[in-house]
Amino acid sequence: MDKQESGCEQVLEAALARAADPRCPPQLAGALRHAVFPGGARVRPQLCLAVAAANGDEDRTLARGAAAAIELLHCASLVHDDLPCFDNAAQRRGRPSVHAAYGEQIAVLAGDALIVAAFEALAVAAAASAQPARLGSLLSVVGRGVGAPFGIAAGQAWECEPAVDLSLYHQSKTGALFIAATCAGAAAAGVDPLPWRALGARIGEAYQVADDIQDATADAGELGKPTGCDAALGRPSAVRELGLDGAVRRLRQLLEEGLMSVPDCPGRDGLQVLVRNQARRFLPKGLDRNAA
Amino acid sequence: MDKQESGCEQVLEAALARAADPRCPPQLAGALRHAVFPGGARVRPQLCLAVAAANGDEDRTLARGAAAAIELLHCASLVHDDLPCFDNAAQRRGRPSVHAAYGEQIAVLAGDALIVAAFEALAVAAAASAQPARLGSLLSVVGRGVGAPFGIAAGQAWECEPAVDLSLYHQSKTGALFIAATCAGAAAAGVDPLPWRALGARIGEAYQVADDIQDATADAGELGKPTGCDAALGRPSAVRELGLDGAVRRLRQLLEEGLMSVPDCPGRDGLQVLVRNQARRFLPKGLDRNAA
Protein backbone atom coordinates (compact mmCIF):
# COMPACT_ATOMS: atom_id res chain seq x y z
CA MET A 1 0.00 0.00 0.00
CA ASP A 2 1.70 3.25 -1.01
CA LYS A 3 0.90 6.75 0.16
CA GLN A 4 -1.56 7.50 -2.64
CA GLU A 5 -3.48 4.25 -2.28
CA SER A 6 -3.82 4.79 1.45
CA GLY A 7 -6.29 7.62 0.86
CA CYS A 8 -4.77 9.54 3.71
CA GLU A 9 -2.84 12.04 1.55
CA GLN A 10 -6.03 13.61 0.19
CA VAL A 11 -7.43 14.07 3.69
CA LEU A 12 -4.12 15.59 4.80
CA GLU A 13 -4.28 17.90 1.78
CA ALA A 14 -7.80 18.93 2.71
CA ALA A 15 -6.82 19.56 6.34
CA LEU A 16 -3.88 21.71 5.24
CA ALA A 17 -6.03 23.55 2.71
CA ARG A 18 -8.30 24.54 5.63
CA ALA A 19 -5.52 25.46 8.08
CA ALA A 20 -3.00 27.04 5.70
CA ASP A 21 -5.62 28.94 3.72
CA PRO A 22 -4.82 32.35 2.17
CA ARG A 23 -6.05 34.16 5.31
CA CYS A 24 -3.47 32.37 7.47
CA PRO A 25 -0.30 34.32 8.36
CA PRO A 26 2.02 33.38 5.45
CA GLN A 27 4.94 32.05 7.50
CA LEU A 28 2.68 29.90 9.65
CA ALA A 29 0.96 28.55 6.53
CA GLY A 30 4.35 27.72 5.03
CA ALA A 31 5.49 26.00 8.21
CA LEU A 32 2.33 23.88 8.40
CA ARG A 33 2.89 22.62 4.86
CA HIS A 34 6.60 22.12 5.49
CA ALA A 35 5.81 19.95 8.52
CA VAL A 36 3.39 17.66 6.69
CA PHE A 37 4.56 17.50 3.04
CA PRO A 38 6.40 15.60 1.71
CA GLY A 39 5.81 13.21 4.57
CA GLY A 40 7.74 10.28 5.91
CA ALA A 41 6.54 6.70 5.54
CA ARG A 42 3.06 7.53 6.95
CA VAL A 43 3.35 4.31 8.97
CA ARG A 44 0.73 5.20 11.60
CA PRO A 45 -2.08 6.30 9.25
CA GLN A 46 -1.53 3.23 7.08
CA LEU A 47 -1.81 1.04 10.17
CA CYS A 48 -5.04 2.81 11.14
CA LEU A 49 -6.53 2.32 7.67
CA ALA A 50 -5.37 -1.31 7.55
CA VAL A 51 -7.09 -2.10 10.85
CA ALA A 52 -10.30 -0.41 9.68
CA ALA A 53 -10.18 -2.37 6.40
CA ALA A 54 -9.46 -5.65 8.22
CA ASN A 55 -12.63 -5.04 10.20
CA GLY A 56 -14.70 -4.71 7.03
CA ASP A 57 -15.02 -0.93 7.14
CA GLU A 58 -16.60 0.06 3.81
CA ASP A 59 -17.37 3.77 4.21
CA ARG A 60 -13.74 4.79 4.72
CA THR A 61 -14.54 8.44 5.53
CA LEU A 62 -14.09 8.15 9.29
CA ALA A 63 -11.01 5.94 9.06
CA ARG A 64 -9.36 8.34 6.63
CA GLY A 65 -10.12 11.27 8.93
CA ALA A 66 -8.70 9.40 11.91
CA ALA A 67 -5.61 8.36 9.93
CA ALA A 68 -4.99 11.95 8.86
CA ALA A 69 -5.52 13.20 12.42
CA ILE A 70 -2.95 10.73 13.73
CA GLU A 71 -0.41 11.77 11.09
CA LEU A 72 -1.00 15.47 11.85
CA LEU A 73 -0.36 14.76 15.54
CA HIS A 74 2.79 12.84 14.63
CA CYS A 75 4.00 15.78 12.52
CA ALA A 76 3.20 18.18 15.37
CA SER A 77 5.29 16.11 17.77
CA LEU A 78 8.23 16.12 15.35
CA VAL A 79 8.07 19.90 14.99
CA HIS A 80 8.14 20.40 18.77
CA ASP A 81 10.70 17.60 19.24
CA ASP A 82 13.14 19.37 16.93
CA LEU A 83 12.93 22.66 18.86
CA PRO A 84 16.15 24.08 20.32
CA CYS A 85 15.03 23.22 23.87
CA PHE A 86 14.65 19.52 22.93
CA ASP A 87 16.72 17.90 20.17
CA ASN A 88 17.79 21.20 18.60
CA ALA A 89 17.71 19.36 15.27
CA ALA A 90 18.43 21.48 12.20
CA GLN A 91 17.32 18.70 9.85
CA ARG A 92 14.30 16.45 9.46
CA ARG A 93 13.56 14.12 6.53
CA GLY A 94 16.66 15.48 4.75
CA ARG A 95 15.40 19.07 4.81
CA PRO A 96 15.67 21.92 7.31
CA SER A 97 13.49 21.29 10.38
CA VAL A 98 10.57 23.69 10.83
CA HIS A 99 12.35 25.84 13.40
CA ALA A 100 15.47 25.95 11.22
CA ALA A 101 13.40 27.13 8.25
CA TYR A 102 10.86 29.39 9.98
CA GLY A 103 12.26 30.23 13.42
CA GLU A 104 11.39 29.01 16.88
CA GLN A 105 8.20 31.06 17.36
CA ILE A 106 6.57 29.81 14.18
CA ALA A 107 7.66 26.24 15.03
CA VAL A 108 5.93 26.35 18.42
CA LEU A 109 2.77 27.78 16.82
CA ALA A 110 2.84 25.33 13.90
CA GLY A 111 2.94 22.40 16.32
CA ASP A 112 0.01 23.86 18.25
CA ALA A 113 -1.99 24.51 15.09
CA LEU A 114 -1.33 20.97 13.81
CA ILE A 115 -2.69 19.49 17.06
CA VAL A 116 -5.83 21.56 16.65
CA ALA A 117 -6.11 20.69 12.94
CA ALA A 118 -5.96 17.01 13.86
CA PHE A 119 -9.01 17.22 16.10
CA GLU A 120 -10.81 19.39 13.55
CA ALA A 121 -10.13 16.70 10.93
CA LEU A 122 -11.98 14.20 13.12
CA ALA A 123 -15.01 16.49 13.31
CA VAL A 124 -14.98 17.09 9.55
CA ALA A 125 -14.76 13.35 8.84
CA ALA A 126 -17.53 12.54 11.31
CA ALA A 127 -19.84 15.13 9.76
CA ALA A 128 -19.20 13.67 6.29
CA SER A 129 -19.54 10.04 7.34
CA ALA A 130 -22.52 7.76 7.72
CA GLN A 131 -21.59 7.23 11.40
CA PRO A 132 -21.20 10.67 13.04
CA ALA A 133 -21.95 9.15 16.47
CA ARG A 134 -18.54 7.44 16.42
CA LEU A 135 -16.80 10.83 16.83
CA GLY A 136 -16.75 10.64 20.64
CA SER A 137 -14.93 7.32 20.86
CA LEU A 138 -12.55 8.31 18.04
CA LEU A 139 -11.71 11.58 19.80
CA SER A 140 -11.05 9.79 23.10
CA VAL A 141 -8.84 7.14 21.51
CA VAL A 142 -6.82 9.72 19.57
CA GLY A 143 -6.56 12.16 22.48
CA ARG A 144 -5.23 9.46 24.77
CA GLY A 145 -2.36 8.87 22.33
CA VAL A 146 -1.00 12.40 22.47
CA GLY A 147 -1.73 14.07 25.80
CA ALA A 148 -1.12 13.29 29.44
CA PRO A 149 -0.76 10.94 31.26
CA PHE A 150 -0.23 8.29 28.54
CA GLY A 151 0.45 10.07 25.25
CA ILE A 152 3.36 11.57 23.36
CA ALA A 153 3.57 14.69 25.52
CA ALA A 154 3.90 12.51 28.62
CA GLY A 155 6.48 10.31 26.90
CA GLN A 156 8.61 13.30 26.03
CA ALA A 157 8.20 14.62 29.58
CA TRP A 158 9.69 11.40 31.00
CA GLU A 159 12.97 12.58 29.43
CA CYS A 160 12.94 15.43 31.95
CA GLU A 161 12.67 13.11 34.97
CA PRO A 162 15.76 11.91 36.86
CA ALA A 163 14.62 8.25 36.73
CA VAL A 164 12.75 6.58 33.88
CA ASP A 165 11.24 3.14 33.34
CA LEU A 166 12.36 2.39 29.76
CA SER A 167 9.25 0.41 28.86
CA LEU A 168 6.86 3.04 30.26
CA TYR A 169 8.84 5.75 28.47
CA HIS A 170 8.64 3.98 25.09
CA GLN A 171 4.99 3.08 25.63
CA SER A 172 4.00 6.71 25.92
CA LYS A 173 6.55 8.41 23.66
CA THR A 174 6.13 6.08 20.70
CA GLY A 175 3.68 3.30 21.53
CA ALA A 176 0.77 5.57 22.42
CA LEU A 177 0.28 6.93 18.91
CA PHE A 178 0.52 3.43 17.39
CA ILE A 179 -2.09 2.30 19.91
CA ALA A 180 -4.19 5.28 18.87
CA ALA A 181 -3.75 4.18 15.23
CA THR A 182 -4.97 0.60 15.73
CA CYS A 183 -7.73 1.60 18.14
CA ALA A 184 -8.93 4.45 15.91
CA GLY A 185 -9.06 2.05 12.95
CA ALA A 186 -11.24 -0.26 15.02
CA ALA A 187 -13.41 2.58 16.38
CA ALA A 188 -13.90 3.99 12.86
CA ALA A 189 -15.15 0.56 11.75
CA GLY A 190 -17.54 0.41 14.70
CA VAL A 191 -15.60 -2.34 16.49
CA ASP A 192 -14.51 -2.31 20.16
CA PRO A 193 -11.03 -0.71 20.16
CA LEU A 194 -9.78 -2.43 23.33
CA PRO A 195 -8.66 -5.77 21.80
CA TRP A 196 -6.65 -3.77 19.24
CA ARG A 197 -4.46 -2.05 21.82
CA ALA A 198 -1.89 -4.85 21.99
CA LEU A 199 -1.12 -4.73 18.25
CA GLY A 200 -0.48 -0.99 18.40
CA ALA A 201 1.54 -1.26 21.58
CA ARG A 202 3.88 -3.97 20.24
CA ILE A 203 4.37 -2.32 16.84
CA GLY A 204 5.03 0.96 18.57
CA GLU A 205 7.61 -0.54 20.87
CA ALA A 206 9.20 -2.35 17.92
CA TYR A 207 9.33 0.93 16.02
CA GLN A 208 11.05 2.66 18.93
CA VAL A 209 13.62 -0.16 19.21
CA ALA A 210 14.18 0.17 15.45
CA ASP A 211 14.67 3.91 15.91
CA ASP A 212 17.27 3.28 18.61
CA ILE A 213 19.05 0.82 16.30
CA GLN A 214 19.03 3.35 13.47
CA ASP A 215 20.32 6.07 15.76
CA ALA A 216 23.20 3.80 16.77
CA THR A 217 24.07 2.33 13.35
CA ALA A 218 22.93 4.46 10.40
CA ASP A 219 24.62 7.55 9.07
CA ALA A 220 22.97 10.93 9.04
CA GLY A 221 22.84 11.25 5.24
CA GLU A 222 20.89 8.00 4.92
CA LEU A 223 18.35 8.97 7.57
CA GLY A 224 18.00 12.64 6.73
CA LYS A 225 18.42 13.57 10.40
CA PRO A 226 21.27 13.57 12.93
CA THR A 227 22.35 10.20 14.42
CA GLY A 228 24.11 9.21 17.62
CA CYS A 229 21.81 11.54 19.56
CA ASP A 230 20.70 9.02 22.19
CA ALA A 231 24.25 8.34 23.39
CA ALA A 232 25.26 12.00 23.11
CA LEU A 233 22.22 13.15 25.09
CA GLY A 234 22.35 10.23 27.57
CA ARG A 235 18.82 9.24 26.60
CA PRO A 236 17.30 5.82 27.26
CA SER A 237 17.96 3.48 24.31
CA ALA A 238 17.31 -0.22 23.68
CA VAL A 239 20.77 -0.52 22.09
CA ARG A 240 22.43 0.91 25.18
CA GLU A 241 20.39 -1.40 27.40
CA LEU A 242 20.45 -4.64 25.35
CA GLY A 243 23.35 -4.27 22.90
CA LEU A 244 22.81 -4.29 19.11
CA ASP A 245 22.06 -8.02 18.76
CA GLY A 246 19.81 -7.96 21.79
CA ALA A 247 17.91 -5.01 20.37
CA VAL A 248 17.34 -6.78 17.03
CA ARG A 249 16.08 -9.89 18.88
CA ARG A 250 13.78 -7.73 20.98
CA LEU A 251 12.39 -6.09 17.83
CA ARG A 252 11.60 -9.49 16.26
CA GLN A 253 9.93 -10.71 19.45
CA LEU A 254 7.76 -7.58 19.72
CA LEU A 255 6.52 -7.94 16.15
CA GLU A 256 5.56 -11.59 16.67
CA GLU A 257 3.73 -10.72 19.88
CA GLY A 258 1.87 -7.97 18.05
CA LEU A 259 0.86 -10.24 15.17
CA MET A 260 -0.32 -12.97 17.56
CA SER A 261 -2.55 -10.45 19.34
CA VAL A 262 -4.60 -9.51 16.26
CA PRO A 263 -8.25 -10.26 17.10
CA ASP A 264 -10.33 -12.48 14.88
CA CYS A 265 -11.69 -10.34 12.03
CA PRO A 266 -12.51 -10.68 8.31
CA GLY A 267 -9.12 -9.38 7.12
CA ARG A 268 -6.78 -10.89 9.73
CA ASP A 269 -4.43 -12.64 7.27
CA GLY A 270 -4.06 -9.65 4.97
CA LEU A 271 -3.34 -7.38 7.92
CA GLN A 272 -0.56 -9.68 9.15
CA VAL A 273 1.09 -9.69 5.70
CA LEU A 274 0.90 -5.90 5.55
CA VAL A 275 2.41 -5.44 9.02
CA ARG A 276 5.30 -7.82 8.20
CA ASN A 277 6.01 -5.91 4.99
CA GLN A 278 5.97 -2.59 6.79
CA ALA A 279 8.27 -3.92 9.49
CA ARG A 280 11.00 -4.68 6.94
CA ARG A 281 11.34 -0.95 6.41
CA PHE A 282 11.96 -0.33 10.11
CA LEU A 283 15.59 -1.45 10.00
CA PRO A 284 18.74 -0.29 8.24
CA LYS A 285 19.62 -2.44 5.21
CA GLY A 286 21.45 -5.62 6.20
CA LEU A 287 19.61 -5.98 9.50
CA ASP A 288 16.13 -6.26 7.96
CA ARG A 289 16.27 -9.99 7.07
CA ASN A 290 16.78 -11.00 10.64
CA ALA A 291 13.91 -8.96 11.94
CA ALA A 292 10.82 -9.58 9.87
CA MET B 1 -21.31 34.83 39.00
CA ASP B 2 -18.14 33.74 40.78
CA LYS B 3 -15.79 30.91 39.86
CA GLN B 4 -17.52 28.33 42.05
CA GLU B 5 -21.02 29.17 40.86
CA SER B 6 -19.94 28.94 37.25
CA GLY B 7 -19.60 25.17 37.52
CA CYS B 8 -16.52 25.30 35.35
CA GLU B 9 -14.01 24.76 38.18
CA GLN B 10 -15.24 21.24 38.88
CA VAL B 11 -14.94 20.29 35.22
CA LEU B 12 -11.44 21.81 35.13
CA GLU B 13 -10.60 19.79 38.25
CA ALA B 14 -11.88 16.62 36.60
CA ALA B 15 -9.89 17.30 33.42
CA LEU B 16 -6.72 17.89 35.44
CA ALA B 17 -7.38 14.78 37.54
CA ARG B 18 -7.39 12.79 34.29
CA ALA B 19 -4.34 14.46 32.71
CA ALA B 20 -2.16 14.95 35.79
CA ASP B 21 -2.95 11.54 37.25
CA PRO B 22 -0.33 9.66 39.32
CA ARG B 23 0.98 7.88 36.20
CA CYS B 24 1.85 11.22 34.56
CA PRO B 25 5.51 12.28 34.70
CA PRO B 26 5.60 14.30 37.97
CA GLN B 27 7.00 17.55 36.58
CA LEU B 28 4.52 17.58 33.71
CA ALA B 29 1.68 16.90 36.15
CA GLY B 30 2.87 19.77 38.34
CA ALA B 31 3.13 22.11 35.36
CA LEU B 32 -0.39 21.27 34.16
CA ARG B 33 -1.84 22.14 37.57
CA HIS B 34 0.34 25.25 37.82
CA ALA B 35 -1.00 26.46 34.47
CA VAL B 36 -4.67 26.07 35.39
CA PHE B 37 -4.93 26.64 39.17
CA PRO B 38 -5.45 29.10 40.69
CA GLY B 39 -6.86 30.61 37.53
CA GLY B 40 -7.44 34.14 36.40
CA ALA B 41 -10.92 35.65 36.07
CA ARG B 42 -12.18 32.71 33.94
CA VAL B 43 -13.85 35.33 31.73
CA ARG B 44 -14.21 33.10 28.65
CA PRO B 45 -15.81 30.06 30.33
CA GLN B 46 -18.23 32.31 32.22
CA LEU B 47 -19.23 33.92 28.93
CA CYS B 48 -19.76 30.47 27.40
CA LEU B 49 -21.93 29.34 30.31
CA ALA B 50 -23.87 32.61 30.33
CA VAL B 51 -24.73 32.27 26.63
CA ALA B 52 -25.83 28.66 27.15
CA ALA B 53 -28.00 29.71 30.12
CA ALA B 54 -29.48 32.65 28.19
CA ASN B 55 -30.57 30.14 25.56
CA GLY B 56 -32.43 28.07 28.13
CA ASP B 57 -29.86 25.29 28.37
CA GLU B 58 -30.98 23.10 31.29
CA ASP B 59 -28.67 20.09 31.10
CA ARG B 60 -25.48 22.07 31.66
CA THR B 61 -23.13 19.12 31.08
CA LEU B 62 -22.13 20.05 27.55
CA ALA B 63 -21.82 23.77 28.27
CA ARG B 64 -19.60 23.09 31.29
CA GLY B 65 -17.39 20.80 29.21
CA ALA B 66 -17.12 23.43 26.49
CA ALA B 67 -16.40 26.17 29.05
CA ALA B 68 -13.65 24.07 30.62
CA ALA B 69 -12.20 23.22 27.20
CA ILE B 70 -12.02 26.91 26.30
CA GLU B 71 -10.29 27.77 29.59
CA LEU B 72 -7.78 24.92 29.11
CA LEU B 73 -6.99 26.27 25.65
CA HIS B 74 -6.60 29.76 27.07
CA CYS B 75 -4.20 28.43 29.73
CA ALA B 76 -2.26 26.52 27.05
CA SER B 77 -1.85 29.70 25.03
CA LEU B 78 -0.55 31.59 28.08
CA VAL B 79 2.02 28.87 28.80
CA HIS B 80 3.36 28.99 25.24
CA ASP B 81 3.07 32.80 25.10
CA ASP B 82 5.34 33.12 28.13
CA LEU B 83 8.09 30.96 26.58
CA PRO B 84 11.54 32.51 26.11
CA CYS B 85 11.07 32.66 22.32
CA PHE B 86 7.91 34.77 22.74
CA ASP B 87 7.36 37.08 25.73
CA ASN B 88 10.07 35.45 27.87
CA ALA B 89 7.86 36.27 30.86
CA ALA B 90 9.10 35.03 34.21
CA GLN B 91 5.78 35.87 35.89
CA ARG B 92 2.11 35.13 35.29
CA ARG B 93 -0.76 35.85 37.67
CA GLY B 94 1.74 36.99 40.30
CA ARG B 95 3.59 33.66 40.32
CA PRO B 96 6.45 32.19 38.30
CA SER B 97 5.35 31.37 34.74
CA VAL B 98 5.34 27.67 33.85
CA HIS B 99 8.68 27.79 32.03
CA ALA B 100 10.23 29.74 34.91
CA ALA B 101 9.02 27.11 37.40
CA TYR B 102 9.47 23.92 35.35
CA GLY B 103 11.82 24.75 32.48
CA GLU B 104 11.24 25.32 28.81
CA GLN B 105 10.81 21.67 27.79
CA ILE B 106 8.06 20.97 30.29
CA ALA B 107 6.38 24.27 29.37
CA VAL B 108 6.19 23.31 25.68
CA LEU B 109 4.81 19.88 26.59
CA ALA B 110 2.36 21.26 29.16
CA GLY B 111 0.88 23.59 26.54
CA ASP B 112 0.55 20.68 24.11
CA ALA B 113 -1.05 18.44 26.73
CA LEU B 114 -3.51 21.17 27.74
CA ILE B 115 -4.66 21.54 24.13
CA VAL B 116 -5.26 17.80 23.96
CA ALA B 117 -6.98 17.78 27.37
CA ALA B 118 -9.35 20.48 26.12
CA PHE B 119 -10.60 18.36 23.24
CA GLU B 120 -10.80 15.31 25.48
CA ALA B 121 -12.96 17.34 27.88
CA LEU B 122 -15.42 17.92 25.04
CA ALA B 123 -15.64 14.17 24.37
CA VAL B 124 -16.12 13.39 28.05
CA ALA B 125 -18.87 16.00 28.38
CA ALA B 126 -20.64 14.80 25.24
CA ALA B 127 -20.60 11.20 26.44
CA ALA B 128 -22.12 12.27 29.77
CA SER B 129 -24.72 14.61 28.28
CA ALA B 130 -28.20 14.01 26.93
CA GLN B 131 -27.06 15.43 23.57
CA PRO B 132 -23.91 13.58 22.44
CA ALA B 133 -24.65 14.44 18.81
CA ARG B 134 -23.73 18.07 19.50
CA LEU B 135 -20.05 17.10 19.91
CA GLY B 136 -19.20 17.67 16.23
CA SER B 137 -20.41 21.26 16.11
CA LEU B 138 -18.85 22.02 19.50
CA LEU B 139 -15.51 20.62 18.40
CA SER B 140 -15.58 22.66 15.17
CA VAL B 141 -16.49 25.88 16.96
CA VAL B 142 -13.79 25.42 19.61
CA GLY B 143 -11.13 24.27 17.14
CA ARG B 144 -11.68 27.32 14.96
CA GLY B 145 -10.87 29.54 17.96
CA VAL B 146 -7.40 28.15 18.54
CA GLY B 147 -5.83 26.85 15.34
CA ALA B 148 -5.12 28.24 11.89
CA PRO B 149 -6.15 30.29 9.97
CA PHE B 150 -8.42 32.16 12.43
CA GLY B 151 -7.49 31.09 15.96
CA ILE B 152 -5.01 31.99 18.68
CA ALA B 153 -2.06 30.28 16.98
CA ALA B 154 -2.67 32.32 13.84
CA GLY B 155 -3.04 35.50 15.89
CA GLN B 156 0.28 34.94 17.58
CA ALA B 157 1.85 34.13 14.20
CA TRP B 158 0.81 37.54 12.85
CA GLU B 159 3.37 38.98 15.30
CA CYS B 160 6.07 37.31 13.18
CA GLU B 161 4.95 39.00 9.96
CA PRO B 162 6.51 42.27 8.77
CA ALA B 163 3.08 43.91 8.21
CA VAL B 164 -0.04 43.37 10.32
CA ASP B 165 -3.63 44.53 10.07
CA LEU B 166 -4.37 45.47 13.73
CA SER B 167 -8.01 44.43 13.58
CA LEU B 168 -7.26 41.08 11.94
CA TYR B 169 -4.50 40.48 14.46
CA HIS B 170 -6.74 41.17 17.46
CA GLN B 171 -9.59 39.16 15.94
CA SER B 172 -7.49 36.03 15.83
CA LYS B 173 -5.19 36.49 18.81
CA THR B 174 -7.89 37.44 21.30
CA GLY B 175 -11.28 37.62 19.60
CA ALA B 176 -11.26 34.06 18.28
CA LEU B 177 -11.44 32.41 21.69
CA PHE B 178 -14.22 34.79 22.82
CA ILE B 179 -16.09 33.92 19.63
CA ALA B 180 -15.52 30.25 20.45
CA ALA B 181 -16.93 30.92 23.93
CA THR B 182 -20.19 32.51 22.77
CA CYS B 183 -20.63 30.08 19.87
CA ALA B 184 -19.88 27.04 22.04
CA GLY B 185 -22.44 28.24 24.59
CA ALA B 186 -25.01 28.44 21.80
CA ALA B 187 -23.99 25.09 20.28
CA ALA B 188 -24.15 23.39 23.69
CA ALA B 189 -27.71 24.69 24.07
CA GLY B 190 -28.62 23.37 20.62
CA VAL B 191 -28.94 26.84 19.08
CA ASP B 192 -27.32 28.00 15.81
CA PRO B 193 -23.92 29.46 16.85
CA LEU B 194 -23.58 31.86 13.91
CA PRO B 195 -25.68 34.78 15.27
CA TRP B 196 -23.58 34.62 18.46
CA ARG B 197 -20.29 35.34 16.70
CA ALA B 198 -20.65 39.11 16.87
CA LEU B 199 -21.00 39.20 20.67
CA GLY B 200 -17.82 37.15 21.11
CA ALA B 201 -15.93 39.15 18.50
CA ARG B 202 -16.77 42.53 20.08
CA ILE B 203 -16.08 41.42 23.65
CA GLY B 204 -12.83 39.85 22.52
CA GLU B 205 -11.72 43.01 20.75
CA ALA B 206 -12.74 45.08 23.79
CA TYR B 207 -10.75 42.75 26.01
CA GLN B 208 -7.67 43.14 23.83
CA VAL B 209 -8.00 46.94 23.86
CA ALA B 210 -8.33 46.74 27.67
CA ASP B 211 -5.18 44.61 27.76
CA ASP B 212 -3.32 47.22 25.71
CA ILE B 213 -4.54 49.93 28.11
CA GLN B 214 -3.41 47.90 31.12
CA ASP B 215 -0.04 47.25 29.53
CA ALA B 216 0.40 50.97 29.00
CA THR B 217 -0.94 52.26 32.35
CA ALA B 218 -0.87 49.67 35.15
CA ASP B 219 2.12 48.67 37.21
CA ALA B 220 3.52 45.16 37.19
CA GLY B 221 2.73 44.46 40.85
CA GLU B 222 -0.95 45.21 40.32
CA LEU B 223 -1.23 42.98 37.23
CA GLY B 224 1.05 40.15 38.39
CA LYS B 225 2.89 40.24 35.06
CA PRO B 226 5.34 42.58 33.31
CA THR B 227 3.93 45.80 31.77
CA GLY B 228 5.11 48.11 29.02
CA CYS B 229 5.81 45.06 26.83
CA ASP B 230 3.92 46.24 23.76
CA ALA B 231 5.98 49.41 23.38
CA ALA B 232 9.23 47.64 24.30
CA LEU B 233 8.62 44.87 21.78
CA GLY B 234 7.20 47.21 19.11
CA ARG B 235 3.98 45.20 19.06
CA PRO B 236 0.68 46.46 17.67
CA SER B 237 -1.34 48.20 20.42
CA ALA B 238 -4.58 50.16 20.45
CA VAL B 239 -2.97 52.72 22.81
CA ARG B 240 -0.10 53.27 20.41
CA GLU B 241 -2.54 53.62 17.51
CA LEU B 242 -5.37 55.63 19.13
CA GLY B 243 -3.85 57.20 22.26
CA LEU B 244 -5.16 56.43 25.76
CA ASP B 245 -8.45 58.36 25.49
CA GLY B 246 -9.08 56.99 22.02
CA ALA B 247 -8.51 53.46 23.26
CA VAL B 248 -10.98 53.89 26.14
CA ARG B 249 -13.58 55.30 23.70
CA ARG B 250 -12.98 52.37 21.35
CA LEU B 251 -13.46 49.92 24.22
CA ARG B 252 -16.82 51.48 25.16
CA GLN B 253 -17.98 51.41 21.55
CA LEU B 254 -17.03 47.75 21.11
CA LEU B 255 -18.98 46.72 24.21
CA GLU B 256 -22.11 48.54 23.06
CA GLU B 257 -21.87 46.96 19.61
CA GLY B 258 -21.51 43.55 21.25
CA LEU B 259 -24.52 44.04 23.50
CA MET B 260 -26.65 45.28 20.59
CA SER B 261 -25.80 42.15 18.62
CA VAL B 262 -27.19 39.68 21.20
CA PRO B 263 -29.85 37.62 19.41
CA ASP B 264 -33.35 37.35 20.78
CA CYS B 265 -33.37 34.62 23.44
CA PRO B 266 -35.07 33.86 26.77
CA GLY B 267 -32.26 35.33 28.90
CA ARG B 268 -31.21 38.32 26.79
CA ASP B 269 -31.60 40.95 29.55
CA GLY B 270 -29.73 38.95 32.18
CA LEU B 271 -26.89 38.26 29.78
CA GLN B 272 -26.50 41.97 29.01
CA VAL B 273 -26.30 42.81 32.73
CA LEU B 274 -23.70 40.10 33.26
CA VAL B 275 -21.56 41.27 30.35
CA ARG B 276 -21.64 44.88 31.58
CA ASN B 277 -20.59 43.78 35.07
CA GLN B 278 -17.75 41.69 33.69
CA ALA B 279 -16.58 44.55 31.50
CA ARG B 280 -16.01 46.80 34.54
CA ARG B 281 -13.21 44.45 35.55
CA PHE B 282 -11.42 44.89 32.22
CA LEU B 283 -9.93 48.27 33.07
CA PRO B 284 -7.51 49.58 35.67
CA LYS B 285 -9.28 51.36 38.56
CA GLY B 286 -10.16 54.96 37.70
CA LEU B 287 -10.79 54.21 34.03
CA ASP B 288 -13.60 51.70 34.64
CA ARG B 289 -16.45 54.22 35.09
CA ASN B 290 -15.97 55.66 31.65
CA ALA B 291 -15.98 52.32 29.94
CA ALA B 292 -18.90 50.30 31.14
In chain B, where are the structural domains located? Answer: 3-291
Between CA A76 and CA A82, with CA A81 as vertex, the angle to 5 degrees is 105
pLDDT, tens digit, for every residue of B97-127? Answer: 999 999 999 999 999 999 999 999 999 999 9
Q: For an interface test with A, give the residue of B85, B129, B144, B167 to mutate (most A CBs within 10 A).
A: B85
Report the distance separating Cα A186 and Cα A49, nearest Å: 9
**Structure confidence at residue A4 (pLDDT):** 44
CB within 8 Å of chain A, chain B residues 48-67: none
What mean pLDDT do residues B263-272 have? 94
**Structure confidence at residue A205 (pLDDT):** 87
Report the percent of chain B where pLDDT is more than 90: 71
Other C-beta atoms lying within 10 Å of the C-beta of residue B290: 12
Q: For an interface test with B, give the residue of A70, A82, A108 to mutate (most B CBs within 10 A).
A: A108
Interface check A83 vs B, CB under 8 A: yes
pLDDT, tens digit, for every residue of A214-257? Answer: 888 876 666 666 666 666 666 668 888 899 999 999 999 999 99
Subunit contact B158:A83, Cβ cutoff 8 A? no
Predicted ipTM > 0.90: yes
Half-sphere exposure of B14 (CA within 13 A, CB side): 16
pLDDT, tens digit, for every residue of A134-188? Answer: 999 999 999 999 999 999 999 999 999 998 877 788 789 889 999 999 999 999 9
CATH class assigned to B3-291: mainly alpha
Name which of A108, A136, A149 is nearest B135 (Cβ-Cβ): A136
Scanning every residue of chain A, which has its alpha carbon at the shortest distance from the alpha carbon of B80? A108
Subunit contact A108:B127, Cβ cutoff 8 A? no
Subunit contact B157:A106, Cβ cutoff 8 A? yes
Report which DSSP code applies to A174. I
pLDDT, tens digit, for every residue of B54-66? Answer: 999 888 999 999 9
Scanning every residue of chain B, which has its alpha carbon at the shortest distance from the alpha carbon of A88? B105
Subunit contact B153:A122, Cβ cutoff 8 A? no
**Structure confidence at residue A233 (pLDDT):** 62
Report the distance separating Cα A148 and Cα A163, nearest Å: 18
Structure confidence at residue B170 as a pLDDT band (50, 70, 90): confident
Q: What is the 3-state secondary structure (H, E, C) of chain B?
A: CCHHHHCHHHHHHHHHHHHCCCCCCHHHHHHHHHHHCCCCCCHHHHHHHHHHHHCCCCCCHHHHHHHHHHHHHHHHHHHHHCCCCCCCCCEECCEECHHHHHCHHHHHHHHHHHHHHHHHHHHHHHHHCCCHHHHHHHHHHHHHCCCCCCCHHHHHHHCCCCCCCHHHHHHHHHHHHHHHHHHHHHHHCCCCCHHHHHHHHHHHHHHHHHHHHHHHHCCHHHHCCCCCHHHHHCCCCHHHHHHHHHHHHHHHHHHHHHHHHCCCCCCHHHHHHHHHHHHHCCCCCCCHHHHC
Residues in chain A within 8 Å Cβ distance of B79: none
Q: Does residue A20 have a pLDDT over 80?
A: yes
Report the distance separating Cα A135 and Cα A124, nearest Å: 10
Report the percent of chain A where pLDDT is more than 70: 89
Q: Does residue B226 have a pLDDT over 70?
A: no
